[in-house]
Structure 1
Amino acid sequence: MAIQLNHTIVSVRDKQESAEFFAEILGLDKPTPFGPFLTVQVDNDVSLDFADDHGPVHPQHYAFLVSETEFDVIFDRIRARGLSYWADPSRRWPGEINTRDGGRGVYWQDPSGHFLEILTRPYGSGS
Structure 2
Amino acid sequence: MSATFSHTIIAAADSAKSAQFYVDILEAEHTQSWGFFSNIMLDEGVMLQFASPPPTFEIPPVHKAFICTDEHFRRAVSLLDERGLDYWADPQRSRLHETNTEHGGRGVYFLDPSGMYLELITKPYL
TM over 0.5: yes
2:42 equivalent in structure 1: 42
Contact 1:101 1:121 in 2 (8 A): yes
Q: Provide runs of 4+ in structure 1 moved above 6 Å.
A: none
Deviations 1:39-93 (Å, cap 9, x if unpaired)? 1111122111101112211111111100111111111111111110001111121
| One-letter amino acid matched to 1:107 | Y
2:22 equivalent in structure 1: 22
2:86 counterpart of 1:77: no
Unaligned runs of 5+ in 2: none
TM-score (norm 2): 0.91
Q: Following the alignment from structure 2 to structure 1, what is the Cα–Cα distance between the partners of residues 2 and 93? A: 36
Unaligned runs of 5+ in 1: none
Classify 1:32/1:21 alpha carbon distance in 2 versus 1 (closer, same or farther; 3 Å).
farther
Across the aligned residues of Structure 1 and Structure 2, the Cα RMSD in angstroms comes to 1.4
- Report the identity percentage: 40
Aligned residue pairs total 124
Q: Following the alignment from structure 1 to structure 2, what is the Cα–Cα distance between the partners of residues 30 and 46? A: 12
Matches within 5 A, 1:103-118: 103-118=105-120
Q: Following the alignment from structure 1 to structure 2, what is the Cα–Cα distance between the partners of residues 31 and 10? A: 15
Q: Following the alignment from structure 2 to structure 1, what is the Cα–Cα distance between the partners of residues 6 and 62? A: 18
TM-score (norm 1): 0.91
Q: Following the alignment from structure 1 to structure 2, what is the Cα–Cα distance between the partners of residues 83 and 31? A: 26
2:48 counterpart of 1:51: no
Deviation at 1:95, TM superposition (A): 1.2
Deviation at 1:16, TM superposition (A): 0.9
Classify 1:32/1:81 alpha carbon distance in 2 versus 1 (closer, same or farther; 3 Å).
farther
